[in-house]
Amino acid sequence: MIVVGGGIGGLGAAYSLTRQGLAVRLLESAPAFGEVGAGIQLAPNCTRILDDYGLLEEAKSLGVVPDAMVMRDAVDGGELTRLDLRDLERRYGYPYLVIHRSDLHGLLLRACQRAGVELVNKAQVTSYENTDGGARVTVAGGETHEAGLVIAADGLHSTARRQFIDDQPVSSAYVSYRGTVPAEQPRVRSVDLSEVVVHIGPHCHFVHYGLRGGELLNQVAVFESPKALAGKEDWGTPDELDAAFAGTCDFVREGLPFMWRDKWWRMFDRDPVMNWVHGRIALLGDSAHPPLQYIAQGAIMAIEDGWVLGEHVARNRAEDGTVDWGATLAAYEAVRPEHCRRVLTTSRKWGELWHLDGLAREQRNALLRARDTYDYSFTDWLYGPTALTPQEEQEMFTPIPLTSADVPEGRHVA
C-alpha cells in the first residue's frame, strides 16, 4: 500500500499498517524528512497509542511529563483553573506529555525505518485515481505508483481532498508566533517547567511549557489580526504581535522578545466533512480534518487515524493475509469523521471562549474559577481510549452557559 505525506500523520499510519504485516511505501515531496515548529502536546488518548506501538518510553525520554496544566487570565495574570496532570494520568492510565515536534517526528521516522517502510523522497504527488484493483498516484515528472490502497496524508492543502471535495481552508484571522528559550536564560529560570500554562486574553493568548527535559522553554503567542479582518494580504506581522499583547500582564509581554519574528503561522482549519473514503483512496490527518489548535488534538487525531486503520486491518484480514479493504475502510469512515467533527467544532468554540472581552470575559473567568480541579467532565470524551466503532465513542460534555456565571454588577469593563 502507499502513504502520501511524510509528516506525523503519514509516518504514524505507515508504522501502524506495517505492524499489521503490510508492505508500505511512503511518498514524501521534500528532499529530506523533517518537521517545522516547536512544541506539541500529547494527551493520554495519544500516549496510549504510543505505548501500544512500544514508543512511549522513548517519547518520554525526549519530552517532559508535566505536573499540571494551568489557565491564567492574560490581563491580570491571575489563575483561573488547572488540571492535575498526575491525577489525570491515574484516571486515564497514560501520561500527558509535551515534546518538540521534530523529536516526535524523528521518533516515528526511526520506527518506520526499523519496521521496513519504504521511504521515498522528492515524490510530489500531483494526482490520485482509482483503478480496478486499487488506486494509483502520479508524481511530478510523470512516474506512477500503484497499490491496493492509497492513504492521502498530504496536509491542509491536500491534492487528494481537492479531487473529491470542493472546499477551501477557512481563515480564523488568528496567527501564531512561536519561539524557544534556552534554559540558561533568566526568563526560563523564572517559570515552573513542571507546568503547561496558557494565559487567555481578549483576542489573544500565550502558552508556555518546558521541552527536552527542561533544556528549552517553548512559547506560543496567538492573536487576532486586524489586517486579516480588514481583508489585507499582509497580515499577522510583528507589529501586530506587539500591539495585540500591549494590554496583557508583565509576564506575557516580557516573553514577546523571544518569539521568532521572521516566520509566523496563519491559522486555518476546514469545515468538517464526513466522506473520507473514495474507492481505494482514503484521507488521513490534516487532509481530512485540519483543526484550530485550541484543544491540542491536531497531530493526535492524525496518529489516532492511523492506529484505527491498523486495528481494522487486523479485524478484516483473512488467514491467507489478504485484507478486506472495503470492510476496513467502511469501519474507518464509520467512526473517525464523527469524532474529528466533534474535535474541529469544539476547537473553534474553545478558541472563542479563550478570546472573550468585556462582560463575557468576566463570566468565563467566574465559571473557570468555580471549576473543581478534579472535574473531568470536559475531558472524558477526548482523553479516553480511541473508539474503534461508533458505539465506543464517549458522550460529549454538556456546555455551561456563560450567563449562568455570578458576576457582581459593575465589576466588568466593557
What is the domain-level CATH number for residue 322?
Answer: 3.50.50.60
What pTM was computed for the model? Answer: 0.96
| DSSP-derived secondary structure for 120-144 | E-S--EEEEEE-SSSEEEEETTS-E
- Domain assignment present for residue 163? The answer is yes
240 three-class SS: helix
Q: Is residue 129 a contact partner of residue 2, using CB atoms and an 8 Å limit?
A: no
Nearest to 8 by CA among 107, 85, 94, 98: 107
Q: How far apart are the first and last CA of the chain?
A: 58
Q: Name the amino acid, one letter, at 295.
A: I
Asked whether 35 and 131 are in contact (CB, 8 A), the reply is no
* Residue 145, Cβ density class (10 Å: 0-12 exposed, 13-18 middle, ≥19 buried): middle
- 248 assigned to some structural domain: no
Strand order in the sheet with 125-130: 125-130, 135-139, 144-147
Q: What is the pLDDT at residue 414?
A: 39
pLDDT at 175: 98
Per-residue pLDDT of the chain (414 residues; tens, 9 = 90+): 999 999 999 999 999 999 999 999 999 999 998 877 778 999 999 999 999 999 999 999 999 999 999 999 999 999 999 999 999 999 999 999 999 999 999 999 999 999 999 999 999 999 999 999 999 999 999 999 999 999 999 999 999 999 999 999 999 999 999 999 998 999 998 899 999 999 999 999 999 999 988 889 999 999 999 999 999 999 999 999 999 999 999 999 999 999 999 999 999 999 999 999 999 999 999 999 999 999 999 999 999 999 999 999 999 999 999 999 999 999 999 999 999 999 999 999 999 999 999 999 999 999 999 999 999 999 999 999 999 999 999 999 999 999 999 887 655 443
Q: Report d(CA 340, CA 272) in Å as an integer.
A: 8
Alpha-carbon distance of 203 to 192, in angstroms, equals: 25
Question: Which helix (H) or strand (E) covers residue 126, if one does?
Answer: strand 125-130
Q: Is 269 helix (H, G, I), strand (E, B) or coil?
A: strand
Count: domains in the chain: 1
229 inside domain: no
pLDDT the model gives residue 190 = 86
Cell numbers placing 18: 506495517
pLDDT of the residue at 413? 45
* Angular region, 78: left φ>0, alpha ψ -120 to 50, beta rest: beta
Question: Is 277 a member of any domain?
Answer: yes
Q: Which domain holds residue 347?
A: 2-36+102-168+270-392
List own/partner pairs for 368-376 with CB under 8 A and 24 or more apart. 368/71, 368/80, 368/81, 369/80, 369/81, 370/405, 371/81, 373/81, 373/82, 373/83, 373/84, 374/84, 374/87, 376/88, 376/91
Residue 121 lies in a domain: yes
**Alpha-carbon gap, residue 218 to 181, rounded angstroms:** 7
Known catalytic residue: 209? yes
The residues with which 282 forms a beta bridge, in sequence order, are 151, 277
Distance CA 178, CA 205 (A): 12
Which triple of cell numbers denotes residue 265? 503561522
DSSP state of 392: G
| Residue 348 maps to a domain | yes
* Polymer length of the chain: 414
In a domain, 120, yes or no: yes
Q: Select which of 177, 209, 294, 383 is catalytic.
A: 209
Tell me the C-alpha distance between 293 and 267, whole Å.
8
Establish if 74 belongs to a structural domain: no
On whether the CB atoms of residues 272 and 345 are closer than 8 A, the answer is yes
Alpha-carbon distances, residue 365 vs 48, 353, 405 (angstroms): 32, 10, 9
